Amino acid sequence: METLTPEVESGSNPPAVDFEKVQDFAGRVLGDLAAAGAHALVYVGDQLGLFKALAEAPATAEQLAQKLDLDARYVREWASGLAAIGYFDYDPANGTFTLPAERAAVLADESSPAFMAAASSVIRTMYHSADEVAGIFKTGEGFGWHQHHQCLFRGTERFFRPGYHTFLVDDWLQQLPGVSEKLSEGGRVLDIGCGHGASTIILAQAFPNSSFVGVDYHQESIDAARKAAEEAGVSDRAEFLVGSAHTLPAGPFDLICYFDCLHDMGDPVGAAKAARGVLKADGSVLLVEPLAEDRLENNLNPLSAMFYAGSTFLCTPCSKSQEIGLALGAQAGPGRLTGVLESAGFSNVRVATRSMANLILEAKL
């Protein structure tokens, strides 16, 4: 076995380095660098509609550029990069690129639960804020959600919406006994940390007899949510307000929801206490969080790697920018989340279900 022996001070025992393992890991990092570069290409393709255009039919770079009124030379380089990493198929005989239907479901179809192209906007945000985040590693300070590049807000909504659309009404709510029946008859729902309002609007469309209130501290997101509700035709029953998770609209509510946001809050216990105060006696809290187990060794997988990265750049700094700054992180796990809800005074907390990327808890008084 060939080894590399680094120079060390006389008298010490240098560790043996397995050169084959070095080569293997260098290859792994090269692949990761290629993937990082590819997602810059994904961002551009998502913004310009290139994936949706290519999903319609195989095309040369020139044909694709003509369809979207783009420069063919740039399109060729872009498509070649994504063919090189295996996102596209390439036919050298005809010079055409193809986005197969299965890959289009991930890159082009925003109604697909597997759609992930919008995640490139979130990744772009992380690189955009990298210097500021590196700085707070030294100070321990926070970095607020609102301080990030604006592509974060729309990108987050587009990334999470397909999962909400697929699972929220037909799966997650079905795991909460009696909740769908209440909302079908006519109930009140509070969506805390609603962002651009995707979850609120999906619920309003599914339950036309109920009324909905979405709350978020970010004014620009609330403006976007109001516009989206108008376009979806639900503004008569879906209201959006700028506000804190601790100062909520007057209740009581039959259902209070947190979608992928409680871990971002500086004081999640205090937020949950505020929710308890406006919840009906027989009401439910629906808590949706990124999928995670309680122990790090059980989270060593690609999904958790993505969530840990997002937590480093977005979630933990957001929490630390607020009072208390508990910094649960995006991989808090069911144990810590249950502890937060029980500390807020909920006596009945349980994991209701899991999906491909989410952990769903129900809390009752």
Mean pLDDT, residues 181-204 taken together:
97
Q: What is the pLDDT of residue 13?
A: 73
- Given this model, what pLDDT does residue 7 score? 53
Q: What stretch of H or E contains 90?
A: strand 89-91
Please name each of the domains of the chain with its CATH number: 17-107 (1.10.10.10), 122-364 (3.40.50.150)
Cβ–Cβ under 8 Å, residues 331 and 292: yes
Is the pLDDT score of 179 beyond 80?
yes
Sign of CA dihedral 265, 267, 268, 273: negative
The arithmetic mean of pLDDT across residues 336-362, rounded, is 97
What one-character-per-residue DSSP string does 177-233 give?
A: TTHHHHHHH--EEEEET-TTSHHHHHHHHH-TTSEEEEEES-HHHHHHHHHHHHHHT
pLDDT tens, position by position, 290-320: 999 999 999 999 999 999 999 999 999 999 9
Mean pLDDT value across the chain: 95
Assign 2 a pLDDT band (cuts: 50, 70, 90).
Answer: very low
pTM reported for the whole predicted model:
0.92
d(CA 261, CA 218): 13
Max Cα-Cα span within the chain: 81
Instruction: Tell me the pLDDT tens digit for each residue of 31-82.
Output: 999 999 999 999 999 999 999 999 999 999 999 999 999 999 999 999 999 9
